[in-house]
Amino acid sequence: MDYTNQKHPQNYSQMEDLKTLDLEESVSETIMRDLRMIAYKLKYVLIPKEQEDNGKELRNWDLWGPLIFCLALAMTLSFKADSTTTSSKSDVFAIIFVLIWVGAFVVTLNAQLLGGKVSFFQSVCLLGYCVFPINIEAIIIAFIGSYLPFVVKLIPVIICFAWSAYSSVGFMASLVPPHKKKLAVYPVFLFYLFLSWFSLIV
């Protein structure tokens, strides 16, 4: 494959020629390649203007991005949770982790049952990447939330929730037949609403 036209490879299948060099490159090089891939996909998913080919890039799904964002969110919220409350830090971590993966599973299953013909992991990958704005919101509230009144805290929550929902709705709506679009979109909305509310309240 010719790499001169691409800035960086977007998935592992384009890197077959590089595999012989893997053992000779430094660890930081390997990690940076993965991180660059995740960053590229993140920009693609969250900034709709980058999508020139109508979402075909999403066929190269990977679950590293969703895992990193899920762990980051769970760690942020459990860091912020007081250990004196009835729910300890480990409970919060477990709740968020299970919620994100089981929620993504259920939402994807719903889209498939409604007649969508998409690969299962593609949809889970997209839902995982769209958790990133909620991550941002959780970090904002964790660090400066205690100094702000409740109403001011609501503003970043609503903005990030709207951003997440808007990014994933475009993809989810394209999966199902036109008269079922809102039915496939509503569970996504509920999923991100629950996550946003959770990060606001903890």
Distance in angstroms (rounded) separating the CA atoms of residues 169 and 201: 25
Please, what is the minimum distance in Å from the beta carbon of residue 4 to another protein?
38
Distance in angstroms (rounded) separating the CA atoms of residues 42 and 65: 8
How many residues belong to the site for another protein (CB under 8 A)? 25
Site for another protein in 42-81 (CB under 8 A): none
Spell out a b/e string for 142-162, using b for 16 or more CB atoms within 10 Å of the CB, else e: beebeeeeeeebeebbeebbe
* One of 19, 86, 147, 151 touching another protein (CB under 8 A): 86
* One of 67, 75, 95, 136 touching another protein (CB under 8 A): 95
Choose the stretch contacting another protein; rule: CB under 8 A; options: 23-31, 63-71, 155-163, 188-196: 188-196
Environment class of 120 (CB within 10 Å of its CB; exposed 0-12, middle 13-18, buried 19+): middle
Q: Which residues bind another protein (CB under 8 A)?
A: 82, 85-87, 91, 95, 109-110, 112-115, 179-183, 186-187, 190, 193-194, 197, 201-202
